[in-house]
Amino acid sequence: MDTQNASLIDSHCHLDFLVFDDDRSAIMQACREANIQSIIVPGVCRKDWQKILSLCYKNDMLYPALGLHPCFIDEHHAKDLHELSRLLSTNTAKNAAENSEIQNLAGIGEIGLDFFIKNTDRKIQIYYFSEQLKIATQYQLPVLIHARKSHDEVIKHLKENTSLKGIIHAYSGSYEQAKEYLNRGFKLGFGGAFTYPKATKLRSLVARLPIDAWVLETDAPDMSPMAHHSEKNSPQYLLEIAREFASLYDNKAEFEQIMKQLYQNTRDILPSLHNRQL
């Protein structure tokens, strides 16, 4: 099976993290050779935003997203939300032409609700999440959502912000919750968690949902696929995740055809991917 012609997009990868400082260039080169054309790099804390913007500005395969992640609420301040709005207000077509560092912003992320972590203040999580949803609505940007044990609450917020679209990254909910997201025009992230045979419920969703529900992601350096479970995850492994998706998809379509659809799904939900010539 020749898989080298299929273009792939990693819709969620923390390539800005320190753990990639030594091998980031080599990884990007390996990705190019594997036909991984684009990588979305979401932010988790304000202190990381500038590094992400600089990295993405210098490397045209990288697309930034800016956000405040629910697992780091202790590091967030209300003024970070103002800074997010301020940065977005400078992200105009005119500034882009004048080499503003915010180029091809993929969306607002990584934002969301994580009720799996212990001793978390749900109220504060909900505050940052809902404020960032408002900002995304104001600037008409897609959202990259992290949701663990919180899908019903996330869906409730999406019902209050009906114009929003985006990706539920590392999807882990039920079939019914998936349908709720899909009805609102969201896509679901398929990544490392689906590669473990024990994840039977999650894996069964692939065949039960339409193929246009899905986008591929690695969430590197976390969520390593099974074949690399003891290693740092890398966007290079996206092709393995893609093969796993194709093996679960209940259809006789060729691998390349399936990949073409997933590639299109990602471009459909993240319009900034159209800004660069691919």
**Binding footprint of Zn ion on the chain (CB under 5 A):** 110, 219
Check if the beta carbon of residue 68 is closer than 8 Å to that of residue 111. yes
Nearer of residues 101 and 219 to Zn ion, judged by Cβ: 219
In the complex, what is the shortest distance from the CB of residue 92 to Zn ion, in angstroms, rounded to a whole number?
28
Cβ proximity to Zn ion, 129 vs 255, nearer residue: 129
DSSP H or E run through 69: none
Q: How far is the CB of 144 from Zn ion (least distance, A)?
A: 8
CB of 219 to Zn ion, least distance (A): 5
Range 83-102 burial, b when 16+ CB lie within 10 A, else e: ebeebbeebeeeebeeebbb
DSSP 62: E
- Could you tell me the smallest distance in angstroms from the CB atom of residue 198 to Zn ion? 22
Min. distance of Cβ 61 from Zn ion in angstroms?
18
Nearer to Zn ion, 16 or 110 (CB): 110
Cβ distance to Zn ion smaller for residue 48 or 219: 219
Q: ∠ CA(153), CA(70), CA(16), 5° rounding?
A: 135
Closest separation in Å from C-beta 149 to Zn ion: 16
Between 6 and 9, CB nearer to Zn ion: 9
As measured in angstroms, the least distance from the Cβ of 79 to Zn ion is 23
Count other C-beta atoms under 10 Å from residue 213's C-beta: 20
CA 128, 12, 181, 195 dihedral sign is negative
N- to C-terminal Cα separation, the chain: 24
Shorter beta-carbon distance to Zn ion: residue 172 or 258 = 172
C-alpha–C-alpha distance, residues 88 and 108, integer Å: 10
Q: How far apart are alpha carbons 184 and 162 in whole angstroms?
A: 7
CA 259 to the chain's CA centroid:
17
Find how far residue 111's CA is from the centre of its chain: 10
Closer residue to Zn ion in complex, CB, 146/165? 146
Radius of gyration, alpha carbons of the chain: 18
